[in-house]
Amino acid sequence: MSGYVFGKDILGQTSCVDANSICTDKYGYHSRYNSLSESCECSYGYILGKDSIGRTQCVSPDSICTDQLGYNATYNSVYDRCECRSGYVIDGGQCTYGNSVCHSKNGIYSSYNSINKRCECDDGYTLDDSNQCVKKQNNVYFTLKELDTDERKAIIRSDYDYKYYLISYNYGCYASSFRRYLNQQIVINLGTDFDLDTWDKIVLQNDNETCDITQREKADSDTTLQPKEEEIFYFAPQPSVVATPQPTINIFTPTPQTKKEFQFDGTKKKDYEGKSTPEANTSGTFKKCPSTKECGKETKPKQETQSIKISEATTTQQKQPQRDSSWYRKILSFFSRLFKR
């Protein structure tokens, strides 16, 4: 009968028994009987292998791979071999997360490429001499315009953006080597950016010498290391103004002579006027001419008085002493008697 074979039943007696039951007893639940080949074989997706306790059983190939390479292993039925799952790599006999393996090998800026099945540096990073992934260093050419090896200063121009810089550098670049690059190109490692910063590195590419930039400042095409000539300022002396002494002019003001006027009594007056003046003053009064402007002008008659006081004009510089009135009377009396004769 198809599907049956001679075998032992449950009582231990030889009889025709189900062939599949014989296969499952021998190779586990995933085995079956092939009547064409008259042998036991594993069901589709299973292979003969060792189970967890070492028995030969029809087991999942993945279980065989996990037993061999860990939980992240899988079976490749095309190539009939165990492989690690995507993103995992065999490390130390076990399927391990690929990025963890790359980090331990090339640093934290590396990752596992499952297509190429290898570790690679992340974008913007590269392997250094220690096989570690570090940021890419930007090497830019600069033209050395001027150099002062005594002060360790230089003026450089970037061939990248054509900007000028005044820099100071430390030891490492020998003066004799550095002078050979004047008006030629030197290499400056700008690090991970394209800006010239302090501690960027000068590379004398033909001499294998390097030195660090200790100071930098922006400059222009007019910047120079040549000492500036001191500017000398000349100040024209201002002429001193000396006041020219003016000659002192002493203006002598003559003391005005005081015109004396005499008042006579009626009889003496007539006798005096008749002998001294051709015209008689009929008004009985004298006209005063204190100045030349008033001469010739008619003045108002003054009231006759018995006596006219003798007025003497005085000036601020000199005051004539008051004369004795009795002395004048004697003179008048003398002239009166003289005219009567």
Q: Residues with Cβ < 8 Å from 23, sequence gap 6 or more?
A: 31, 32, 33, 40, 41
From 136, 163, 179, give the residue that closes a domain: 136
Q: Please state the φ and ψ torsions of residue 73, each to the nearest 5 degrees.
A: -100, 155
Domain assignment present for 335: no
Q: What percent of the chain has pLDDT over 70?
A: 65
| CATH number of domain containing 171 | 2.40.50
Regarding whether 215 and 141 lie in a shared domain, the answer is yes
The pLDDT value recorded for residue 254 is: 57
Regarding whether 176 and 160 lie in a shared domain, the answer is yes
Domain assignment present for 213: yes
Domain assignment present for 67: yes
Residue 22 in contact with residue 31, Cβ under 8 Å? no
pLDDT exceeds cutoff 50 at 284: no
Regarding whether 101 and 81 lie in a shared domain, the answer is yes
Domain assignment present for 161: yes
CA dihedral 103, 108, 109, 111 (to 10 degrees): 30
Regarding whether 88 and 147 lie in a shared domain, the answer is no
From 136, 166, 184, give the residue that closes a domain: 136
Domain assignment present for 24: yes
Six-digit token pair at 266? 């009626």
The pLDDT value recorded for residue 176 is: 93
C-alpha span between 29 and 27 (Å, rounded): 7
pLDDT exceeds cutoff 70 at 55: yes
Domain assignment present for 97: yes
C-alpha span between 106 and 336 (Å, rounded): 157
At 154, the amino acid letter reads A
The pLDDT value recorded for residue 307 is: 41
Helix (H, G, I), strand (E, B) or coil at 156: strand
Domain assignment present for 82: yes
Regarding whether 193 and 127 lie in a shared domain, the answer is no
Regarding whether 149 and 126 lie in a shared domain, the answer is no
C-alpha span between 341 and 333 (Å, rounded): 13
Residue 189 in contact with residue 200, Cβ under 8 Å? yes
Counting every residue written for the chain, the total comes to 341
Residue 285 — very low, low, confident or very high, per pLDDT cuts 50/70/90? very low
Backbone CA torsion sign across 205, 209, 212, 214: negative
Domain assignment present for 284: no
pLDDT exceeds cutoff 90 at 192: no
The pLDDT value recorded for residue 7 is: 59
Domain that holds residue 190: 137-219
pLDDT exceeds cutoff 90 at 155: yes
pLDDT exceeds cutoff 60 at 1: no
Q: What percent of the chain has pLDDT over 90?
A: 33
Tell me the pLDDT of the chain averaged across its residues. Answer: 76
Average pLDDT value for residue range 105-124 = 91
The pLDDT value recorded for residue 216 is: 94
Residue 140 in contact with residue 187, Cβ under 8 Å? yes
pTM, to two decimals? 0.41
Out of 59-68, 71-80, 158-167, 279-288, give the one with best mean pLDDT.
158-167
Regarding whether 100 and 69 lie in a shared domain, the answer is yes
From 193, 219, 245, give the residue that closes a domain: 219
Q: How many folded domains does the chain comprise?
A: 3
Q: What are the CA-CA distances from residue 320 to residues 253, 263, 291, 311, 331 (Å)?
A: 16, 21, 21, 11, 19
Regarding whether 141 and 214 lie in a shared domain, the answer is yes
Residue 257 — very low, low, confident or very high, per pLDDT cuts 50/70/90? low
Regarding whether 87 and 123 lie in a shared domain, the answer is yes
Regarding whether 211 and 142 lie in a shared domain, the answer is yes
Six-digit token pair at 291? 């100045």
